[in-house]
Structure formats: C-alpha cells, structure tokens
Structure 1
C-alpha cells in the first residue's frame, strides 16, 4: 500500500508549505462549490488537471488508477442530473426521463464540479505528507498541540494496526481456524480479531502516554519542533500558479461561453 502512494520524483509541489496548501485548496473548493458558470468551472478543471497530471510526480499508471473514481463520479452525477433534472426547453422525453437544455446545463455543471473537487483533493493528498501538515498547522495556524499530536499518533499507529491484523489473520490460518457463514461466523470473526487488536491498542496508547510524560510534554508550554515549517519562495510560486489559473479560467470563460462549450461537447444535440 505504501508503494502505491510513493511518487516517482518529488516535484516543487512537495516543497510548498502544507498549511498554505491546505488553506488555499480549501478556498478553491469553496469557489468551485458556489460557482454556477459552467464555462468557468470547466476551464478551471482543465487547468487544475494540468497541475495534477503535470507536477504531482506520480507515474501515469498510478494517476490513471487514482482517476477512475473521479471519472465514475463525473459520469454518474452528470448523467443523473441530465436525465432526471427539470427544465423548460425540453429536447427529448421518455417516461421519467426528460432531457432539457437546463438539465444538461446543470448536469455538466455538477459533473465538472465533482471532477474539479476530485482533482483538487487528489493533488493535495498526493503531494502532502500528513505529519508535515499537522506540524505546519501547529506552527503557522496555531493549532492546539493536543489535537495535532492526536492525529499524528493516529497516523503513526495505523500501519502497526494493519500489520497486527495481517499477523492475526496468518496465525488463525496456521491454527486451522475456519469461520462458518452467516451471523454466527461474523460474530466469531469479530471476537477473534477485535478483542486482541483492541487490547494491543490500549497497551500501545499507554506506552505512548508514558513516553510523552517522561519527555515532560506539556500542552500549554512553548515548544520547539523537530520538523520546523517555514514560508519559502516556493509558496509564492504556488500562489502565483493558482492565481494565474483563476484569472485564466475567467478569461477563457469570456472567450468560450456556455453555448459554445456545450456545442463543442455535444455537437449532435440541436442547441
């Protein structure tokens, strides 16, 4: 699983301050969420797609695999809204299905929003280390350490839990344990898996608490950090790239409006 999320090379997006990236991407999601212009969202999706597929540092094979859920979400949301949406200028109807100019507009808009959401979120997830994100939130956004270190501990302990689950499964297979089908087998599986994992998690949490207490960890005290996060020139480059993308999408929106865009996407329909 770790190899799947390992890039071929680390591009300049990895050197952007995670707090800056988080805040800016969150604002971009809000812009896309409240935007109702199809041409603007469409061009914005293309531009951020260039950012993802050009500078994420992952191979095309992995990016294609990650893109499958986004494409399926785009198709399902766009087709559903197009076939069952409301509209005045009806082109074709059959039973519950009614395709109109308005439903096509809303369908493409919803599909492009879904795709843009996926591209922005995937860009952030693939180019940001979770640990560095919480360090940046503590240092730049003044997030309370009790929340940040809770998430850091959770992220650190997840691989251990996965390894223990695999070890437990192998041990049960070696012992020849077989589970029956139905509710009874599910309860037996739950008992043999969850109780040992839960007990190990309690022991591990206690060891972490003792270690933090031995290192005199205090929530209210001023702290130094092993991984300092600062603002660099790469952050300015990132802000400039995002701003250029927004202005370019707004400029292209005037050059290629909704009518021309729809005719280009669906040339067979009598628009």
Structure 2
C-alpha cells in the first residue's frame, strides 16, 4: 500500500516536471503507439536509451519506477512465459506435449517483456512528474473538441480529478480496515485461495460503505457551494504550451519514424 504509485506526485523542478501536462499526455499516447515498432535489438536499444534518459532528466530515484513495476510482475511473467512455451517457429530447443520452446518464442517473449517494462516506466514517469489535478485539466483540454458533439468534457475531467484525488484516501482506508481486522485475529495470508478470497470480504464491505459515505458528503459539499457544472466557469490553474512542449512532441514523432524505418 505504501509503495502505490498511482496518484502519487513527486515535487520537483526538472525539465520533465516543467512540461505542459498536455504535452506529456500526448507523448504518452504516441509512445504507446510507436513502442510496437520496436521489434529488434536496435529499435529496443533506442527506446530503452530514450526512456532511461527521461528518467535521468526527471531527477527521480529509480526505486520509484521499480515500485511501479512490482504490481504488474504477475501479469508480465504470465504473458512472457505464455510466449515462451506456446509460440511456435524457428529452431526448437525443447518440446513436451503442447509445450515448446523455440528461438522465435524466446524472441517474442523478450519483446513483450521489454514493451511491458518500457510502457510501465513511461506511465510511471507521467504520474510522478504531473500533479493529478493538472493531469485532469490536460484530459479536459484535449477532449474539448468533443464538446461540439455534446460530450460532457468538464464532467469527465472532474470525475478523473476526483478519482485520482481519492486514490490515496481509499488506500489509507483499506490499510486502516486491514489493521482493524488483524487486531480481531484475521490473517490475510493463511489458508488456500478460496479462504484468502473470503478474507477479503471483511475489507470490501466497510470500504464500500466508507466510499459511498464520502461520495455523499462530497456531493452535499459541492451543492452547498453552488456547483453547477462547467458552463461559464473560469479556471484557477492555467495551462501554458511552450516551445519545449512542441519540441517534446516533435522528438516523439522523430523517434517513431526512426523505429518504423529500423523495425525490419
């Protein structure tokens, strides 16, 4: 719980911190698209160098990025091993029943593992260097064209900002409930899988009750302050697009073109 990265912001004054959140969000979208062109040694080396250069520029400890990787280790291992044992093609190194280890399978597993690590590192960088409220403002700003089609853009941004805001609060509630249950003799680590699932129920019920109570209190507070939606509202936080933001997007596009040319 204490190492949860989602919704956590590390204050700083690095080049990455100073970028407009819209630029960082667009860069993230471009990165997710171009990462699938990294399918050989040289393209992966380029992307690894680029991502770790950004990590260095952010001036944030590498341990934070490793903590962001930990919750996904199970999924990463499952996907990687699935590629190793079930992908056919190339030279066969080992075979038993439906399982088979081939040169092509090992190559695909390495590519999938690399993509997972790079995407998680990049998304963690976005989270750690961008305040949740600024990220919500960026989403609202980027979705503004959809307002023409009657999409409630402001409400979507508001929901995102409140969701990110209350993630640490929900984690604190979960930790407090678990400590209370442990004081009553509950052991969340003993027993088989079914018993472990049943042990989660005493956590979920009070957590849901606490969440609904907090949501109701928040709604009452917003109504008491005269909240009426996004129409006609001004913003205290103003986003400012600078030359460095444009250069960031251009850099992402150039890296994408390089990966496309070198992917074969």
Which TM-score applies when normalising by structure 2?
Answer: 0.71
Q: 1:27 aligns with which of 25, 30, 36?
A: 30
Q: 1:134 aligns with which of 115, 133, 136?
A: 136
Contact conserved, 1:81 with 1:104, CA < 8 A, in 2? Answer: yes
Contact conserved, 2:16 with 2:58, CA < 8 A, in 1? Answer: yes
Deviation of 1:132 after TM superposition, in Å, equals: 0.8
Could you say which structure has the larger radius of gyration?
1
Q: Aligned-pair RMSD on alpha carbons?
A: 3.9
Residue deviations 1:192-222 (CA, integer Å, cap 9, x gap): x555544443332232222222332222512
Q: 1:17 aligns with which of 10, 20, 27?
A: 20
Against the structure 1 CA distance between its residues 196 and 75, is the aligned structure 2 distance closer, same or farther, given a 3 Å change threshold? closer
Partner of 2:47: 45
Against the structure 1 CA distance between its residues 6 and 18, is the aligned structure 2 distance closer, same or farther, given a 3 Å change threshold? closer
Q: Any gaps of 5 or more consecutive residues in structure 2?
A: 145-151
- SS of the equivalent of 1:42 reads helix
- SS of the equivalent of 1:32 reads helix
Deviation of 1:103 after TM superposition, in Å, equals: 3.3
Partner of 2:168: 159
1:1-271 superposed matches below 5 A: 1=2, 7=10, 9-33=12-36, 35=37, 37-39=39-41, 41-66=43-68, 77-78=79-80, 80-87=82-89, 89-96=90-97, 98-142=100-144, 144-168=153-177, 177-179=184-186, 190-191=201-202, 193-219=203-229, 221-249=231-259, 253=262
Against the structure 1 CA distance between its residues 166 and 83, is the aligned structure 2 distance closer, same or farther, given a 3 Å change threshold? closer
- Distance in 2 (CA, whole Å) between partners of 1:186 and 1:94 is 36
Q: Any gaps of 5 or more consecutive residues in structure 1?
A: 259-271
Which TM-score applies when normalising by structure 1?
Answer: 0.70
- SS of the equivalent of 2:233 reads coil
Against the structure 1 CA distance between its residues 185 and 244, is the aligned structure 2 distance closer, same or farther, given a 3 Å change threshold? closer
Residue deviations 1:108-140 (CA, integer Å, cap 9, x gap): 333333333233323323322222111122234
Deviation of 1:235 after TM superposition, in Å, equals: 0.5
Deviation of 1:189 after TM superposition, in Å, equals: 7.5
Deviation of 1:223 after TM superposition, in Å, equals: 1.5
Against the structure 1 CA distance between its residues 72 and 53, is the aligned structure 2 distance closer, same or farther, given a 3 Å change threshold? farther
Against the structure 1 CA distance between its residues 72 and 44, is the aligned structure 2 distance closer, same or farther, given a 3 Å change threshold? farther
- Distance in 1 (CA, whole Å) between partners of 2:207 and 2:82 is 42
Against the structure 1 CA distance between its residues 236 and 186, is the aligned structure 2 distance closer, same or farther, given a 3 Å change threshold? closer
